Amino acid sequence: MMNHITIFPVILPLVAGILLLLLPGRLLALKRSVGLISVLLQLITAGLLLSTVSSGEIRVYALGNWSPPFGIVLVADQLAAWMLAITALVAICALFYTARGTDSNGAHFHTLFQLQLFGLNGAFLTGDLFNLFVFFEILLLASYSLLLHGGGRLKTKAGLHFVIINLVGSTLFLFAVGTLYGLLGTLNMADLAVKVAAAPANDAVLIHIAGLLLFAVFALKAALVPLYLWLPAAYAHTTAPVAALFAIMTKVGAYSILRVYTLIFGAQAGAAANLIETWLLPMALLTLIVGVLGVLASTRLRQQVAYLVIVSIGTLLTAIGMNSAAGITAALYYLPHSTFAAAAFFLLSDSIAQRRDVMDDQFEPGPIIQQQRLLGILFFITAILIAGLPPLSGFIGKFLILNAALPHAAFFWITGVILITSLFTLIALARGGSMLFYRPQAPHSCNIAPDAEPRSAFALTVELTPVACLLLCCIGLVVFAGTVTGYTATTANQLLQPEVYIESVLRMEVIQP
């Protein structure tokens, strides 16, 4: 069983998705149960993998018992296990929130949700560039369908932009992997790392072009400036559980950048060494600035949270762009914080909007809403987390990033942009919170009546428990900060010493039947 645990995060959502597709639509309660059990098993599997690889072991699984680089391999190292655990935690909270009824607007929500997880987990585990493309396409199809779940003009418009832009990215991805395969005869990432480093000089230009095309694709998935325009509308207009799950989707782009440009185009890559070093940091800082401008200009809470996702990706890739062990350590601490906080904010935004009736999530004074104090407290905690104020995980993450920037040549740029954008983020969140909670109008003055029917205790529990759990995950990052940063530090060292990964994959012994 332990020999096969590496493939479980891929098999579980695929099998669950097929089973859910076969169940009749009227059995919604059963579908919810199957979905939750699947995600819970994925969380347990991710925890087992995390425990296994924390010692530095890299688990390689050869599908069909074909030795790499000729067969398909799944590779579970510390980075992959970290991403699997984060994804499972976000997914179980988002899926629990759907019990409020958001999954009843379409027949195949739970099937699509599992297929989305299948694409995410596969992207994190694959050791092959072509299969990374395949899992990206699964992600695209599932996310597009989830985005449109429930229908509506704004969803359709945002979904059209989303799919067209991402199809262009898929085309570029094919060009890149086709070029690399034509030159080097392999798409196994470990084998590519060896062959790119030993490539003849006359192939260097094409390898550079293919590497930069891959960067363009990953930057699009991560929503880096100027390739971010698809994200705000897509995230702001979809349902809350889908938006919460999408909080991890942009991290697939960041993961791919970190994986490919430390393993294949890292310091050991010969003429292609550190291929994107001059591009990544400036683009990340610019993304941070543009994201904060979007946060300030937002007129709705969901729109503001969508731009906060762009801010988080800018901050994350700023840390990765420093190309140092300290920077990657900080990035891998900040990554779960930003994912949990954004997912919680999307769910909380939906709870607030539903209590404001036709005012929805507009930043305009409205009536006093039910559970205002409780929602206000949750909003305040989430705002502190995202703005990076002490003593919560946002502050620790940004402190680690600024500390990593001390020896960097762009220290003043990094520090200035992060501190100033954090200040403006705090101002924007304070303004939004005051509009939603502290400037109530009498019902007759805004033509809205407060909700006369209080929600049941069960409904309130289903609604706010996922938000509280995600916020508790952020608090856990503070309580166990020493353990978490120790893990992320060893992960950073493992990424910057890819020889262990390469040797583990290329010299693995195939298990005989």
Number of Cβ within a 10 Å radius of residue 225: 20
Confirm whether 126 is domain-assigned.
no
pLDDT band at 441 (very low <50, low <70, confident <90, very high): low
Question: Looking at residue 484, what is its pLDDT?
Answer: 97
Q: Return the structure tokens found at 156.
A: 């359709």
Distances (CA, A) of 295 to 305, 348, 424, 429: 8, 17, 9, 8
- Could you tell me where the beta strands, DSSP code E, fall in 382-465? none
Report helix, strand or coil for 152: coil
Least confident of 100-109, 283-292, 411-420, 480-489: 100-109
In this predicted model, what pLDDT tens digit does every residue of 392-404 receive, in sequence order? 999 999 999 999 9
Q: How far apart are CA 116 and CA 245, in angstroms?
A: 9
Q: Which of 5-14, 58-67, 156-165 has the highest mean pLDDT?
A: 5-14
Using a pLDDT cut of 90, give the percent of the chain over it.
Answer: 68
**Which residue from 275, 267, 252 is spatially nearest to 169, judged by alpha carbons?**
252
Q: Indicate whether 423 pLDDT > 60.
A: yes
Q: Which is more confidently placed, 68 or 164?
A: 164
Three-state secondary-structure class, residue 107: coil
Q: Cα(346)–Cα(344) distance, rounded to whole angstroms?
A: 6
pLDDT digits (tens, 9 = 90+) for 500-511: 999 999 886 443
Which stretch of DSSP H or E encloses residue 157? helix 153-184
In a domain, 106, yes or no: no
Tell how far CA 17 is from the center of its chain: 21
How confident is the model at residue 99, as a pLDDT? 82
**pLDDT (mean) for 429-453:** 65
DSSP 299: S
Whether residue 214 is contained in a domain is answered as no
Helix count (H) and strand count (E) of the chain? 20, 2
User: How far is it, in rounded angstroms, from Cα 155 to Cα 149?
Assistant: 8
Domain count of the fold of the chain: 1
Query: 378 near 468, Cβ under 8 Å?
Result: yes
The DSSP result for 304-349, as a single string, is HHHHHHHHHHHHHHHHHHT-SHHHHHHHHHHHHHHHHHHHHHHHHH
pLDDT tens per residue across span 444-457: 444 444 444 556 66
Question: Lowest-confidence range among 116-125, 299-308, 367-376?
Answer: 367-376
**Mean pLDDT, residues 61-88:** 90
479 Cβ contact partners less than 8 Å away, ≥ 6 residues apart: none
pLDDT band (50, 70, 90) for residue 493: very high
Is 300 in a helix, a strand, or coil? strand
With 60 as the cut, is the pLDDT of residue 2 above it? no
Instruction: DSSP letter for 361, please.
Output: T
**236 lies in a domain?**
no
Peptide bond into 466 cis (omega under 30): no
Kind plus residue range of the DSSP H or E element containing 60? strand 59-62
Q: Cα 501–214–53 angle (5° rounding)?
A: 25
With respect to residue 421, please indicate whether it lies within any of the assigned structural domains. yes
The pLDDT of residue 45 is 96
Among 301-305, 360-364, 484-488, the minimum mean pLDDT is found in: 360-364
User: At residue 114, what is the residue type?
Assistant: Q
**Confidence class of residue 214 from pLDDT cuts 50, 70 and 90?**
very high
| pLDDT value of position 440 | 59
Mean pLDDT over 482-494 rounds to 96
Other CB atoms within 10 Å distance of the CB of residue 164: 11
Calpha distance 212→210 (Å, rounded): 5
User: Ranked by mean pLDDT, which of 95-104, 227-236, 442-451 comes out on top?
Assistant: 227-236
pLDDT for residue 224 is more than 90: yes
Predicted pLDDT of residue 456: 65
- The residue with greater pLDDT, 270 or 149, is 270
Mean pLDDT, rounded, of the chain: 89
The answer to whether position 124 is within a domain reads no
pLDDT band at 229 (very low <50, low <70, confident <90, very high): confident
Q: Is residue 289 situated within a structural domain?
A: yes
pTM (two decimals): 0.93
Residue 88 lies in a domain: no
More confident residue, 490 or 365: 490
Q: In this structure, are residues 281 and 322 in contact, taking their beta carbons and an 8 Å threshold? A: yes
CA distances to 88, 236, 250, 315 from 422, rounded to whole Å, are: 28, 21, 20, 10
Cβ neighbours of residue 288 under 8 Å, at least 6 residues apart?
311, 314, 315, 318, 417, 418, 421
pLDDT digits (tens, 9 = 90+) for 49-60: 999 999 989 999
**pLDDT tens, 189-198?**
999 999 999 9
Q: Per-residue pLDDT for 8 more than 70?
A: yes
Could you report the per-residue pLDDT of 329-338, keeping only the tens digit for each? 999 999 999 9
Range of the domain at 295: 276-479
Q: Is the pLDDT of residue 459 over 80?
A: no
Beta bridge partners of 73: 62
Cα R_g (the chain), whole angstroms = 22
Q: Measured in Å, how far apart are the chain's first and last C-alpha atoms?
A: 14
**Structure confidence at residue 498 (pLDDT):** 93
